[in-house]
Amino acid sequence: MGARSIPPPPPVVRRALAPLWPLVAVAITGLMVPVVVAGAFHALVDRRARLFRVACLAVLLLWVDIRMLVRCWTLGAGRRDTASPQWRAAHEELLSDALDSLMYYTRRWLGLEVELTDRMHFGTEDHALLALARHAGPFDSLAVAWLLARTAGRLPRIVLAEALRWDPGVDTILTRLDSFFVPSAGDDRLAGVRGMAASLEPADVLLIFPEGQNWTPSRRAHLIERLRRRGDHRRADRAEELVNVLPPKTRGAWAARQARPDADVMVVAHAGFGHLSTLRSIWAAIPFRGRPFLVRTWTWRSADVPDDPVVFAAWLDERWGEVDAWVTAHTTPEGIPELADPARRPGSGTSTR
C-alpha cells in the first residue's frame, strides 16, 4: 500500500497529535533503548552492524523532527506576520537545517552519499524553476530536495502525499511554506499544484515526481498488465520500453507549466537505489558504502519547453526515455550504480540544453 492510499488524519486528530508528538517521541525513544543495546551486541555477529545502525538512526531522525516542530512553535509564539519575508525566510532556514541534519545522520549511519555525474545548471537567473524528478528507491525525495537546496541554492516547494500530515513536524513546516499535500480523493487534485506554481518566487523551485509513485519492478509489471487489460496497448508498449522508470503522468507537470510558463524546467535522474524496493533488499545493502546516489540533471529554458498540452506530453515522454537510458547506462544488472565513464566527475561537464 502506497502513501497515496493512506487517508490523512482527521482534523481533530491532527490538532491533538502535534502537542502530543514530543511525548510520543519520548515513549518511542524509551522503547528503542533495548533495540539499540541488542543491536550493539548483534554487531559482534553482523559485522555491518545493521540493526545498531538502523535503530540509532531512527531515534536521531525522530528527534530532528521534534526539534523542527518545537522551533516552529517558537517562531509561531512571536509576532505572526505570515505574509512577511522574515517569516518565510525563518522557516526556510529551519527546513534547510533539518534537511542538512537528515542527510548528515543518514550519511554517517548508513553511508548514503549523493554524487553528481555532471555539473548542474540551475536555469536562468531570476526565473523560477520546475524540477521533474525520477521517483525510485528509499531516500530519493530527501536526497533530491537536499541537493536542490544546497547545490542549486533553491529550497524546493514539494508536492506530497496527504498521508504525511500524520507527521506533525512535516505537516507544520511545509504547510507554513505553502507546500501542497495531494488529497487522496477530490474533484480537483491539481488546484494546489497550480497555486504553488503561480506563487513561486524567482529563487524558488517546485519539485514534482511525474511518475506519481516509486518505481519498483513489481509496480512496472502491474502497470503493464493493467494497461493491457484496459486495451491501452500503445501505453503498455511504451511502459515495456521503459526499463527503470514508469511512464510519466503529464497532468501535474502540465498544471505547473501552465501556471508558470516563464519557469525553466529541470529534469532530474538518479541511479543507485531504484532496485532497493523491498525491506529485505534495503537491509541487505546497509551500509550503502560503494553504492552512491548518482544524480544527473538536464535544464531547459522556458522558451524551449512546449506550451501546448499535447506537444508537452510528448516532450515529457521523450525526456523520460532519456532518463531511462541514463539510469540503464549507470546501473549494473544487479542494481549497483556505476559511472559509465569513471573519468567524468562532478563539474567536468555541463547538463544544460
What residues form DSSP beta bridges with 352? Answer: 299
- Judge whether 176 and 187 are in contact, CB under 8 Å: no
Q: Which amino acid is at 55?
A: A
> Which spans in the chain are helix H?
11-42, 50-77, 85-110, 140-150, 168-176, 191-198, 217-230, 233-241, 250-259, 279-285, 309-329
C-alpha cell at 341: 565513464
- Name the DSSP letter for residue 350: B
CA distance 349 to 353: 12
pLDDT in tens, the chain (353 residues): 455 567 788 889 988 999 999 999 999 999 999 999 999 999 999 999 999 999 999 999 999 999 999 999 998 887 777 778 888 889 889 999 999 999 999 999 999 999 998 888 887 878 899 999 999 988 888 899 999 888 877 778 887 778 888 999 999 998 888 887 877 655 467 888 888 888 888 888 899 999 988 888 888 899 999 989 988 888 888 889 999 999 998 988 999 999 999 999 999 999 989 889 889 999 999 999 888 999 999 999 999 999 999 999 999 999 999 999 999 999 887 667 776 544 444 433 333 34
Domain borders along the chain are: 112-154+203-353
Q: Buried b / exposed e across 333-353, counting CB within 10 Å, b at 16+? A: eebebeeeeeeeeeeeeebee
Put simply, whether the predicted model's pTM sits higher than 0.85 gets the answer: yes
Q: Is the backbone of residue 331 left (phi > 0), alpha (psi -120 to 50) or beta?
A: beta
